[in-house]
A and B are shown apart, each in its own frame.
Chain A
């Protein structure tokens, strides 16, 4: 792994530039995308970024595979929405902008409550116990309708209390900026945490708990603190989602959400700090944008996830980092032709595959009303044989070409590896 990935390089000018550019991009995005849909998408991405980063504090930095992280974000969301209702009633004098803090504190509180018993051991025991706690809280949500709102959930109005600095949260763009600011602050805070002694020791506990104990650290305490901090940020994400949607339902603490954040984080890459950010963006894009385009989005997401597990277990971030190291050495030019060929072949294969899947879904779900499917600007009659044969040919030919092109990519990579090795030596 390159030195930057471990974060051992000092915080230099380049890092400031990267953070500044990210901040400027976040501020400028609403100017580029003015439609309501883009703002919704961006807002949800921001929330997911915090959630996935907080999850990676457990999985990537602490080596704790959790199946119940939605417990902390969901309970944070519930506390935030109850607080929002109290603000609306005039009982609580708190600007809505600070509401995520309520969610975060609630998340941390439950982190303290559940954390001590769950973090005794890492590994399978932790995974199982987090699953148990996740299921327990999800089941409780239907048992206590007073707090969880039963089937309908709890609703609120975010235009509550007197406006502070003229911010009412009526227009969606104000909510976007609230989420953007919180996302930026939370990301910076979580990044800073990786550079504290606690963040470092958490890595040590992940890699070799026995040695960390011999050095004199209590691994249980380290894991506990890491979990409480992660729960805080998960709660912040929950509080933001409460403001964004103005409703919190039992799904917020549900098993699906715990699984979703695991998917997002893993797709992005657990070995890098910025990995979960990429993962959150990709995952939200699937959940919000692709789900609006096709009914097969869960199939695509599942296949994409499995493909990542099988072929790139380091996530998207590891692929980027790998190519970045080649680019730094000026060797990306050698790879580019092979990449272009395999990308073209891969896209063709993908188009054939997507066409087949879409036709299957269309045949199963809508062919009774309308046998014609519109895809990629084509009109395909799913009752006729020609589109099926055509799609299959495109898929097979694309796959075959991809296989050939990929062999070239591998050969080129072997060369690049040798060069990199020479330079490193």
Chain B
């Protein structure tokens, strides 16, 4: 019970962080049809910007400034990069973001070096929040969840209650009709791309110090965010939310379990010949297989339900 509760809380906080990353990606993908390979790079930039800003004027200004800076970069990328390659089709757009991810990683190497930087949790958020069955839950995890939920609420209100939000929602399903009605769809694209980048940056600000801020962090989550978007269903924010929590819990639970097929067989009294390939395969624990599970889930979803959990289109 103790294990279950603590892991579920950790899974939920990780899942909410993932959602912050994926909400922008889903919006960008469903509106513009662009699979943004640089999305995780914006997450990384958020973390590094926050590190640099918080070293000078503190964590709280960084929480606001770093996402804004990342959002501005996102808008510039859309305006001067993506829009230029748009006429060559989706493959060119995708390849552009793919190249951009390479470039951002190299620039991060150049500016901040190849080793992890010392980006720490601010002292006022350091410490235990409450204790469950003897295991303490850190304040910072609670803070992460709070920021994520606040962002979720803000995003929901912005999409359903504001004029721009309504245009975005309409452009999700009927971009040509929206353009025909006289809305400046390219500008909406730029706003959405910048907004999505800013959300990824915010995730970087609060995720960078909870985990490690290093040049490999973009590659680490880069593939996972695609899993979330595909599993949740293209074009569905609600689906991305469900899938984020699902993947978050899947990852946190699976790394903590040392079950294996060999162990299950041993309970039944079956013993595989030692040293054989079969024994090696059966001896893999769930914890060892943890990195594979999200991708296995993604492949299965794509094969059996290409529209994803809550998606409406294939």
A residues near B, CB below 8 A? 65, 117, 120-121, 124-125, 127-129, 131-133, 135-136, 139-140, 142-144, 146-147, 255, 259, 262-263, 266, 296, 298-299, 301-303, 305-306, 309-310, 313, 360-361, 364
Cβ–Cβ < 8 Å partners of A124 in chain B: 33, 35, 90, 234
The residue that B106 contacts in the complex, of A121, A127, A299, A313, with Cβ under 8 A, is A299
Asked if B91 lies at the interface with its beta carbon under 8 angstroms from chain A, I say yes
Given contacts A132-B227, A132-B295, A139-B292, contact A310 B96 (CB under 8 A): yes
Tell me whether A309 and B303 are in contact in the complex, defined as CB-CB below 8 angstroms, given that A132-B295, A136-B296, A298-B102 are known contacts: no
Given known contacts A146-B280, A266-B95, A306-B103, is B223 in contact with A313 (CB within 8 Å)? no
Which residue of chain A has the shortest Cβ distance to B275 in the bound complex? A146
CA A299 – CA B91 in complex, angstroms?
A: 22
Asked whether, in the complex, the Cβ of A255 is within 8 Å of the Cβ of B303, the reply is no
Task: Decide if B298 touches A132 in the complex (CB within 8 Å).
Answer: yes
Complex Cα gap A259–B314 (Å): 25
Q: Is the CB–CB distance between B94 and A65 below 8 Å?
A: yes
Name the A residues within 8 Å of B94 (CB-CB).
Answer: 65, 127
Contact B99 A302 (CB under 8 A): yes
Q: Is B230 among interface residues, defined by CB-CB distance under 8 A? A: yes
Taking CB as reference atom, which chain B residue is nearest A311? Answer: B84
Q: 18 A-B pairs, CB-CB below 8 angstroms?
A: A65-B94, A124-B234, A125-B314, A127-B94, A128-B35, A128-B298, A128-B302, A133-B295, A135-B295, A139-B291, A146-B280, A255-B223, A302-B102, A302-B106, A306-B103, A309-B85, A313-B88, A313-B92
Measuring CB to CB, which residues of chain B are less than 8 angstroms from any residue of chain A?
Answer: 33, 35, 81, 84-85, 88, 90-92, 94-96, 98-100, 102-103, 106-107, 109-111, 113, 219, 223, 226-227, 230, 234, 277, 280-281, 284, 288-289, 291-292, 295-296, 298-299, 302-303, 306, 314
Contact indicator A132/B103 (Cβ below 8 Å): no
A144 touches B281 (CB 8 A): yes
20 new A-B contacts at CB < 8 Å, known A129-B298, A133-B295: A121-B306, A125-B302, A127-B94, A128-B298, A132-B298, A135-B223, A139-B291, A139-B295, A143-B284, A143-B289, A147-B277, A296-B106, A302-B99, A302-B102, A302-B106, A305-B102, A306-B100, A309-B85, A309-B95, A313-B88
Task: Give the residue name and chain of the B residue nearest to A304 (CB).
Answer: B99
A142 to B234, CA, bound (A): 31
Q: Could you tell me the distance between the alpha carbons of A188 and B293 in the complex, rounded to whole angstroms?
A: 40
Pairwise interchain contact B103-A65, C-beta atoms closer than 8 A = no
CA distance A117 to B298 in the complex (A): 13
B288 touches A306 (CB 8 A): no
Specify which chain B residues have a CB less than 8 angstroms from the CB of A131 in the assembled complex: 223, 226
Q: Which chain B residues lie closer than 8 Å to A303 at the CB level?
A: 103
DSSP majority for the B interface? helix
A128 touching B226 in the complex, CB below 8 Å, given contacts A144-B281, A306-B99, A310-B85: yes
Asked if A128 and B102 make an inter-chain contact with CB atoms under 8 angstroms apart, the answer reads no
Given the complex of chains A and B, what is the CA–CA distance between A397 and B155 in angstroms? Answer: 47
Nearest 4 Cβ contacts at the A-B interface: A302-B103, A139-B291, A302-B102, A306-B99
Q: Which residues of A contact B295 (CB under 8 A)?
A: 132-133, 135-136, 139
* A125 surroundings in chain B (CB, below 8 A): 302, 306, 314
Nearest Cβ on chain A to B222's Cβ, whole angstroms:
9
Q: Which of A129, A135, A266, A299 contacts B103 (CB 8 A)?
A: A299
Residues of B within 8 Å of A298, CB to CB, are 102, 106, 109
Please give the distance in Å from B277's CB to the nearest CB on chain A: 7
A127 to B29 alpha-carbon distance, docked (Å): 14
- A313 and B99 CA atoms in complex are apart in Å by 13
- Beta-carbon contact of A299 and B107 below 8 Å: yes
Give the nearest-CB partner of A364 in chain B. B110
> CB distance B99 to A128 under 8 Å?
no
**Cβ-defined contact, B102 with A313, below 8 A:** no
A259-B302 in contact given A132-B227, A144-B280, A144-B281 (Cβ < 8 Å): no
Complex formed: what's the CA distance from A139 to B294 in Å? 11
Partner of A133, one of B90, B281, B299, B306: B299
